A and B are shown apart, each in its own frame.
Chain A
């Protein structure tokens, strides 16, 4: 059974700092990995999707890497801003696991002005 773990559970940083969020998964047989952002009382917004054959994806100040063999992904946020404050969720789509995404519990990020 696929399990996804995110560390740390919460992170507080000053504005302008670069930061890394970590995600690990137990079954490396995945189709893809997605990073989502969730604001309080809102749904999930997809940030980056990395296919299993890819090593990384970039979008603006965000860069996500994937090491499938070791079961790890990182989300790098450059020059953090207060507007980046949200919960960041990692989810994997496991081979043979139907169409469902398996999520971690998320990292709650606070960027202080």
Chain B
């Protein structure tokens, strides 16, 4: 596709449920990033993939959060036992390749997660 696609655009769930958020990067982009943006805040880094492997998952807040990218393209962010504090906009970005700050990250529109 022309840009980074994220689905669903909105997700409402109940506390304790499991959710999956999907990201389709720009075709040919090898690097993929997940960020989380709470209301009134800037995006905060969660995890970075180079190809199929998670090169840096230091931003994942706890072990309820997990992300995969099995074929080096589409990525899924998985959240177990959701809590109200997980409510935020989850943003995905991709870049042509990772590499020491030379490549612009292109962002999707995000998934707005609301945990009731």
What residues make up the interface of A, taking CB atoms closer than 8 Å to B?
A: 4, 30-32, 34, 36, 41-46, 49, 51-52, 89, 91, 93, 98-106
Contacts and interface: CB of A to CB of B under 8 A. Distances in A.
Interface of B: 4, 6, 31, 33, 35, 40-45, 48, 50, 55-56, 58-59, 91, 93, 98, 100-102, 104-110
A43 B109 contact: yes
B26 to A, nearest CB: 12
B91 A100 contact: no
17 contacts: A36-B107, A42-B110, A43-B91, A43-B108, A43-B109, A44-B43, A44-B107, A89-B42, A89-B43, A91-B43, A98-B48, A98-B55, A98-B56, A99-B50, A103-B42, A103-B44, A105-B40
Going nearest first, the 9 A-B pairs with the smallest beta carbon separation are: A31-B101, A103-B42, A100-B45, A93-B101, A43-B107, A44-B107, A43-B109, A98-B56, A32-B101
B31 A99 contact: yes
A105 B58 CA distance: 20
A38 B108 CA distance: 11
A102 to B, nearest CB: 7
B42 A91 contact: yes
A7 to B, nearest CB: 13
Contacts of A98: 48, 55-56, 58
A34 B11 CA distance: 29
B108 A100 contact: no
